[in-house]
């Protein structure tokens, strides 16, 4: 019951509370960001997608922590979720700076990701960790694409995305070290397809 209440609390905080980062936002002092209106809209759309990704990360790690019976692995997932809270806070703050809103569908994205995390967790700890590895690899590629697409002068957004990309790589490495197994190709393809739907929709809504 305590774990269920904790999962519910995490969902409410992710969706309705203002996230607070433990680390300072990685914006380089002195790199002033000046954007034309069209650049600002474009950057906001990309950062909204990144914010959705962090909402999903909270859901995934919370569900996987709930599903495992291994206390050590549960702490691993909880620690990763806490680190991802930094990303959630940074992207939320950057959206506000760009005069933009988060995705209106965040409760839907959270519910879907939570369900996937539970399924992965129920399939076994090594598969659950493999799911983390593949998710983080796909997120890394996605963030690299955003670095290529963000306005060159948007130093603030770019600094956040760079740090996020480094952290995601570290989470994948930690999951591998904890015993992850590689997922089959069909599972990877299904994950890419689901992510494509989410990122395309969140770009606008």
CATH of 36-202, one of 3.40.50.1100, 1.20.1260.10, 1.10.10.10, 3.40.50.720: 1.20.1260.10
What is residue 102's predicted lDDT score, i.e. its pLDDT?
93
What is residue 48's predicted lDDT score, i.e. its pLDDT?
96
Angle, vertex CA 12, rays to CA 139 and CA 87, nearest 5: 30
Residue 28 — pLDDT band, cuts 50, 70, 90? low
Task: Note the pLDDT tens digit of each residue in 90-145.
Answer: 999 999 999 999 999 999 999 999 998 999 889 999 999 999 999 999 999 999 99
Task: Note the pLDDT tens digit of each residue in 35-49.
Answer: 888 999 999 999 999
Helix (H, G, I), strand (E, B) or coil at 32: coil
Q: Structural domain boundaries of the chain? A: 36-202
pTM over 0.85: yes
What is residue 64's predicted lDDT score, i.e. its pLDDT?
92
DSSP string covering 83-107: HHHHHHHHHHHHHHHTT----TTHH
Do residues 150 and 43 touch, judged by C-beta distance below 8 A? yes
Task: Note the pLDDT tens digit of each residue in 55-91.
Answer: 999 999 999 999 999 999 999 898 888 888 999 999 9
């Amino acid at each position: 019951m305590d774990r269920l209440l904790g999962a519910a609390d995490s969902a409410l905080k992710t969706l309705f509370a203002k996230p607070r980062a433990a680390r300072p936002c990685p914006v380089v002092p002195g790199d002033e960001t000046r954007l034309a209106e069209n650049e600002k809209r474009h950057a906001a759309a990309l950062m909204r997608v990144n914010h959705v990704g962090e909402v999903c990360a909270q859901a995934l790690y919370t569900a996987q922590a709930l599903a495992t019976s291994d206390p050590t692995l549960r702490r691993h997932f909880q620690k990763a979720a806490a680190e991802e809270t930094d990303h959630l806070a940074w992207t939320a703050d950057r959206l506000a700076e760009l005069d933009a809103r988060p995705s209106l569908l965040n409760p839907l994205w959270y519910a879907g990701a939570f369900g996937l995390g539970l399924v992965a967790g129920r399939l076994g700890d090594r598969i659950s960790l493999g799911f983390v590895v593949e998710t983080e690899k796909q997120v890394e590629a996605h963030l690299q694409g955003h670095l290529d697409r963000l306005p060159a002068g948007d130093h603030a957004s770019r600094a956040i995305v760079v740090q996020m990309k480094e952290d995601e790589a570290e989470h994948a490495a930690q999951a591998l070290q904890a015993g992850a197994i590689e997922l089959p190709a069909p599972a990877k393809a299904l994950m890419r397809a689901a992510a494509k739907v989410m990122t395309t929709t969140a770009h606008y809504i």
